[in-house]
Structure 1
Amino acid sequence: MSLNLANLTAKDILAMNYNELISVVRETNRPPGGVSSVSHLATRAHLTKDSHVLEIGTSTGITAIELARLVGCRITAIDINERSIQEARRRAEALGVAHLITFEVNDATSTGYPEDSFDLVFCGNVTSLIPDQKAALAEYSRVVRPGGFIAAIPMYYVKTPSKKLLADVTEAIQVTVEPLEEQYWLDFFLGDGRISFHQDKYTFDWISDEVVDGFVKDILTRPHLDELSAKARAALVEQYSVFMRLFRDNLSQMGYTELLVRCEVDELGEPELFTASPVGVQR
């Protein structure tokens, strides 16, 4: 289902939430940390060309495409948005990795894939956007092989956000945003045979207005947007700029963790006692 930009009015654009606007601008919807996070987690999970990865919430395909380019493994990438899947396929074809990736419209809470099908389930931060998060995690755990991994990059607040900020972000993405902290996500992902294998923590940088506006300008010069009428384009500039500044304000109060979880019950029933930390880092 392609989107006819010529038929979009300024009113249509201004009524769109951020997820709908992505299908118009074809923004690269990266996971927290971008390609670096993808590379770190792929390396930590010991992926090889023989690995099979399930990516949850692929959007326009950046994670699946980078895994294919970096590792050369097979990826099944799913999303509930058909337009995003179409754009992901286009990008994979353009970058020569379409033969490694199967893009499908599918539900993360009930994929229909057989048990123990994947070496890695890569869910980024998308679990926070799924209404039934427990069902999603149960599905990740079901389809990953024993000894395989779940790679998550949960975002959380490191500063207390205002109620207005939470309300504005909730309206923008049409998902209720809670002021969750890191421990919430650690408690969520770990347990029931899911063991922490590796964690790296980051905080988001503050991005200036000039950099945000430059990004918006670059994105909105894409040739396909020439189909828009002058009024619709002006509305797009307005709406997209509002969203980017809002997300800048929100992310500047947040951090994220590159979390690699191993899905394996220790048959001996013994947790590790003598753990270690990098030099200069205290637990």
Structure 2
Amino acid sequence: MNLGDLTAQQIRAMNYNELISVVRETNRPPGGVKTISHLAVGAHLDKDSHVLEIGTSTGITAIELARLVGCRVTAIDINERSIAEARRRAESLGVDHLITFEVNDATATGYPDDTFDLVFCGNVTSLIPDRAKALAEYSRVVKPGGFIAAIPMYYVKQPSEQLLADVTAAIQVTVEPLEESYWLDFFLGDGRIPFSREQYTFDWISDEVVESFIQDILARPHLDELSAEAREVLAEQYAVYMRLFRDNLAQMGYTELLVRCEADELGEPELFDSSPVLPRP
């Protein structure tokens, strides 16, 4: 569907993940490009590596992996409009020859066993109704000794019931006040062993910065294709989402988690662990 065919009613009915494909927002994983780079280095990716990205949205992770490492990436999402935008971006940056974008289901990809060196799922698993089935699929398609890169988000402050309800409505997935321990228990076990883990919290973003970001996004020329009514609804809805997510993320943290997919053949777990003295830049 062309943008000009979208009605105000259709835009009003969109959740956030659908709306960003209209405004062409760069839907970055928690921590942005720095996190992508950290996990690529940690997983020892090189130009011969093959990565599966889950929930690529508008393609930032796949594109950055291709640009930073030169590896092959298969990137999937269930939103056709997002996939189209991801392809456009990859072509404009000259990395489309390295990336295959596909509309596909993370819980049943259809790819052969032991195909990928890394499965990059970011925080997308939290949006998948059957998380256990998705994780089983990640584990099936990753090579022995390969990695799952997850960036789970979780609450470090107790959110209000109203905030949880508002975010649930925005993304149309039930939001639970989970802690980091939930995600560690979820991703580890059954041959998945911890490889690296770094924790972060989100910064508070001022009203002025949020409003400037909203106005920059809404000024994009392609949005001129919308009718006046549709554009007005889009502007209203997008602003509501951005302010809501600013308030929500201020209560949250995230972890850069690399999980290695094989039984630990070295025997007992490591006893003497360590932590960084200074946070990574």
User: TM class, shorter-chain normalised?
Assistant: over 0.9
Q: How does 1:83-162 map to 2 (within 5 A)?
A: 83-162=81-160
- For residue 246 of structure 1, the aligned residue among 244, 247, 259 is 244
Q: Residue deviations 1:150-209, cap 9 Å, x none?
A: 000000000000000000000000000000000000000011111111111110011111
Query: What is aligned with 1:207?
Result: 205
How far is the alpha carbon of 1:266 from its aligned partner? 1.8
- For residue 36 of structure 1, the aligned residue among 34, 37, 45 is 34
Query: What is aligned with 1:25?
Result: 23
Q: Residue deviations 1:82-133, cap 9 Å, x none?
A: 1111111111000000000011111111111111111100000000000100
What's the TM-score, normalizing by structure 1?
0.95
CA separation of 1:106/1:268 partners in 2, compared to 1, >3 Å: closer, same or farther? Answer: same
Amino acid at match of 1:244: M
* 8 Å Cα contact 2:73-2:98 kept in structure 1: yes
* 8 Å Cα contact 2:18-2:79 kept in structure 1: no
Amino acid at match of 2:156: V
Amino acid at match of 1:78: I
CA separation of 1:227/1:163 partners in 2, compared to 1, >3 Å: closer, same or farther? Answer: same
Query: What is aligned with 1:81?
Result: 79
Matched, 1:265 2:257: no
% of aligned pairs identical? 82
Query: What is aligned with 1:8?
Result: 6
How far is the alpha carbon of 1:268 from its aligned partner? 4.4
Query: What is aligned with 2:229?
Result: 231
CA distance in 1, matches of 2:246, 2:73: 31
CA distance in 2, matches of 1:210, 1:191: 44
Q: Residue deviations 1:45-64, cap 9 Å, x none?
A: 11000101000010111000
Query: What is aligned with 1:255?
Result: 253
What's the TM-score, normalizing by structure 2?
0.96
CA distance in 2, matches of 1:70, 1:280: 24
Helix, strand or coil at the partner of 2:242:
helix
How far is the alpha carbon of 1:73 from its aligned partner? 0.3
Amino acid at match of 1:19: N
CA distance in 1, matches of 2:30, 2:278: 26
CA distance in 2, matches of 1:202, 1:279: 14
Query: What is aligned with 2:272?
Result: 274
* 8 Å Cα contact 2:193-2:264 kept in structure 1: no
How far is the alpha carbon of 1:7 from its aligned partner? 2.5
CA separation of 1:23/1:277 partners in 2, compared to 1, >3 Å: closer, same or farther? Answer: closer
* 8 Å Cα contact 2:58-2:85 kept in structure 1: yes
How far is the alpha carbon of 1:280 from its aligned partner? 7.9
CA distance in 2, matches of 1:101, 1:8: 29
CA distance in 2, matches of 1:113, 1:123: 16
- For residue 181 of structure 1, the aligned residue among 163, 179, 182 is 179
* 8 Å Cα contact 2:109-2:137 kept in structure 1: yes
Amino acid at match of 1:132: D
CA distance in 1, matches of 2:273, 2:27: 36
Which structure 2 residue ranges, 5 or more long, are not aligned? none
CA distance in 2, matches of 1:83, 1:278: 41
CA distance in 2, matches of 1:45, 1:187: 21
Amino acid at match of 1:49: K
215-224 vs 4-13, which moves further: 4-13
CA RMSD of aligned residues (A): 1.3
CA distance in 1, matches of 2:278, 2:100: 43
